[in-house]
Amino acid sequence: MIRSIFFLLLFTCFCSISFGQNKITYQLDFDDSLFVDEVVLREVVIERDFEGASAIFQSLADFTETRFNGNNNFGRSTFYDSAIFTDSYFRLNTWFTDAVFKGQTSFYSSAFGSSVSFRGTKFFEDVIFGGTIGDNSISRTSGSQFAIYSSFDNAHFHKKAIFRNTKFKDNTFFENAIFESVALFDNSIFYKNADFTGVTFKKEANFNWVIMPDTLVLDYIKLSHPLDLTNTINKAEVNCKISLVGVDLSLVKIDYSKFDLIFYKNSERRLSPMLRDTISELNKTNIYEKLLRAQTPYPAGYKKLDIEYSEFRYSKRGAYGFFLNYLDKYWWNYGYNKEYIFTWTLYLLILFTLINSLFFGFLNKGVYKIDNVWNASPLFNHESKQLKMKKKAQGFIRNLPHAFFYTCLIFFGLKMKIEELQFKHKIAVTYILFVFVSGLICTVFMANFVFSNTN
């Protein structure tokens, strides 16, 4: 207690501070303190809480390679000169909420073992969390690490913000942050979710070679320069979920084959009150269509998004839409696999042949007779009741080639004559017409496939 009081009095007397010892085992309480000269705490282990809320550092503040083992509060503090936290370690919760950094700031290669808050923090000069301005390395070894939740909500970066090679191991938030100059996130890793809702990028934002988060929220971001997401990397071949509500998609360069579009519900996200609106179906449609136009240079991305858009449109039509979507998907994969028609034609021919073989005698005699087709063995007429199962099986097999010939003549419409149908058997006639129409549809789709591949 006496030591704490002594150091508090010492710091409020505007003295230059440095420590020769490498471990401090008592709590440091510097709330509302004013430091006129340099504060140097290099390679020091601070075992207990560091309280520096609303402190003013008028000269250099150097905490290089310092280990903070307790909670740390620099909230509302002001750093008028350079603030150096290079290679420092913050073991427990850390707050820089509403702090002001007027000089160059370095958190280069620092590690935050618990949650950290830079909410409302203002950086008036360059701030470095990882890499350097001229460092294009992709080693991913020189950046800061955020082990738990990190927040930069409403932070204001007046000069360069360098997060190169930084590792965000938990959810991170930049909601409503403002980047006046370049924002460099290249080669960084986002392990979970990253929320950039309402962020303003007034210059370039570099996300090259970033390992993408599980979910990337870019809703309502403001862009002055194109945002290029084409050189990003997904984790374990799993697509990154992306939300793009209220974004000028003409300024977003994205290969959609790497992403899955989502629309967050209000209960699933943190939003400023002004952004807590319901995403209308019309708004979703506009996003799909604008993003689809932007996919022209990326065939794989265009195909993926076009399929998702088709599914979205069908989903708005209830049970009927569900049926149409099922048909469109499995018939020819929404038009992207027209060769499926040959498989479907074969399946239908086999199915109709099996049915026709069972009822061949009845169909060819009593429903729709085709001349020169061999007369079948009776299976399901009045005589079939007297036959044993073995003879039935033999008759079914014997009918198969003739049933196939019969099916093909109807399916491909080679000898279909409506006037020869015996309409007294309405269900059977309906079946024959169904076979004919199915064949007609398959023929049209096969012709379409041939023509589309010859042009």
- Regarding whether 371 and 344 lie in a shared domain, the answer is yes
Q: Is residue 276 part of a domain?
A: yes
pLDDT at 422: 87
Cα separation, 92 vs 71, in Å, equals: 5
- Regarding whether 277 and 130 lie in a shared domain, the answer is yes
Over residues 373-378, the mean pLDDT reads: 54
Q: For residue 315, which amino acid is it? A: S
Q: Is residue 450 part of a domain?
A: yes
- Regarding whether 417 and 442 lie in a shared domain, the answer is yes
6-15: b (≥16 Cβ within 10 Å) or e: ebbeebeeee
Q: How many domains does the chain have?
A: 4
Q: In what order do the strands lie in the sheet with 167-168?
A: 23-24, 45-46, 67-68, 89-90, 111-112, 145-146, 167-168, 189-190
Q: Is residue 112 part of a domain?
A: no
375-402: b (≥16 Cβ within 10 Å) or e: ebbbbeeeeeeeeeeeebeebbebbeeb
Q: Which DSSP state fits 80? A: S
Task: Using the predicted structure, report yes or no on whether residue 139 has a pLDDT greater than 50.
Answer: no
Q: Is residue 192 part of a domain?
A: yes
- Regarding whether 311 and 252 lie in a shared domain, the answer is no
pLDDT at 28: 83
Report how far Cα 431 is from the mean position of its chain's Cα atoms: 47
Over residues 351-365, the mean pLDDT reads: 89
Percent over 90 (pLDDT), the chain: 67
- Regarding whether 275 and 346 lie in a shared domain, the answer is no
Over residues 150-161, the mean pLDDT reads: 97
236-264: b (≥16 Cβ within 10 Å) or e: eeebbbbbbbbbebebbebbbbbbebeeb
Q: Which DSSP state fits 238? A: P
Identify the helix (H) or strand (E) that includes residue 112.
Answer: strand 111-112
User: Contact at 8 Å (CB) between 373 and 402?
Assistant: yes
More confident residue, 397 or 272: 397
- Regarding whether 386 and 399 lie in a shared domain, the answer is yes
- Regarding whether 302 and 289 lie in a shared domain, the answer is no
Nearest to 239 by CA among 262, 218, 267, 219: 262
- Regarding whether 274 and 131 lie in a shared domain, the answer is yes
Q: Is residue 376 part of a domain?
A: yes
Q: Is residue 308 part of a domain?
A: yes
Q: Is residue 32 part of a domain?
A: yes
- Regarding whether 87 and 13 lie in a shared domain, the answer is yes
- Regarding whether 323 and 199 lie in a shared domain, the answer is no
Least confident of 133-137, 205-209, 218-222, 366-370: 133-137
Q: Could you list the residue range(s) of the whole structural domain that residue 299 is in?
A: 295-329
User: Contact at 8 Å (CB) between 79 and 100?
Assistant: yes
Q: For residue 454, which amino acid is it? A: T
pLDDT at 12: 47
